[in-house]
Amino acid sequence: MVKQHQISVGQARTIAYIPSHKEQRSLAQLCEKSSMSVRRLEQYVHQKKSMTDILQSKDPDITRLENYMAERLGFPVQIKSEGKSGQMLIDFHQPLSLVNSIKTLSPIVSSKISVAAEIKIKELGSMTFKVSSESKAVRLAQLINSMEIGTGFSARVVVSYNTLTCFDQAYRLLTGESLAESV
């Protein structure tokens, strides 16, 4: 499976510690399907946690990054990653903060990074806007800015990325520093 690039060398090395060939094969297949990190696989092999616990537990590096971003931005941040792709979810309760974030992210919207804003306004209900270009991001920010929004506003921006480089671009725009500087 390593030769076919279905699992990494690190995953194969960890799986080799398991005496049962049947369990080795099933773990290798699970690694391939779930994009399980070597660290999570090592947890399973060395600590004998259940596979469900391992898959549902969050990587400590991701948790630290979420906390750091939330502290820098002043908003709750959640990162869902699967291998090199994933989503960054940012929650807002003030329209101006949402507008500023959309404007900040607009230069990197492309085929590799998409931005969607899920907006809930008490009087108007829910709306979802998908932003596929910089100009659409600017128009959405202008639309939100022009609305007379009272209380009951909440929004979530979902930044979807398909490479770690794209994640780093979004991270750099939002926090003002590169991922390597803050980790």
**Which residues are CB-contacts of 131 (< 8 A; sequence separation ≥ 6)?**
102, 106, 109, 114, 115, 116, 117, 137, 140
Ranges of each domain in the chain: 9-56, 60-182
Give me the phi and psi of 53, to 5 degrees please. Answer: -60, -40
Q: Could you report the per-residue pLDDT of 112-137, keeping only the tens digit for each?
A: 778 888 888 776 778 788 877 777 77
Query: Helices (DSSP H) in the chain: which residue ranges?
Result: 9-15, 21-34, 38-47, 51-56, 60-73, 95-105, 134-146, 164-175, 179-182
Q: What DSSP designation does 3 have? A: T
Q: Could you report the per-residue pLDDT of 145-159, keeping only the tens digit for each?
A: 777 666 677 888 888
pLDDT at 66 > cutoff 80: yes
Residue range 60-182 in CATH 3.30.70: no
Q: Could you report the per-residue pLDDT of 11-40, keeping only the tens digit for each?
A: 888 877 777 778 888 878 877 777 777 888
Residue in this structure with the two tokens 């940012």, named with its chain if needed: 90
Sheet holding 125-131, edge to edge: 77-82, 85-92, 153-161, 113-121, 125-131
87 with 159: CB under 8 angstroms?
Answer: yes
Q: Is the pTM of this model over 0.85?
A: no
pLDDT of residue 51: 52
Using 50, 70 and 90 to split pLDDT, how confident is the model at 1?
A: low
How many angstroms separate the Cα of 95 from the Cα of each of 44, 72, 110, 138?
Answer: 44, 18, 24, 14
pLDDT of residue 150: 63
Q: Could you report the per-residue pLDDT of 77-103, keeping only the tens digit for each?
A: 888 887 778 888 888 888 888 888 888
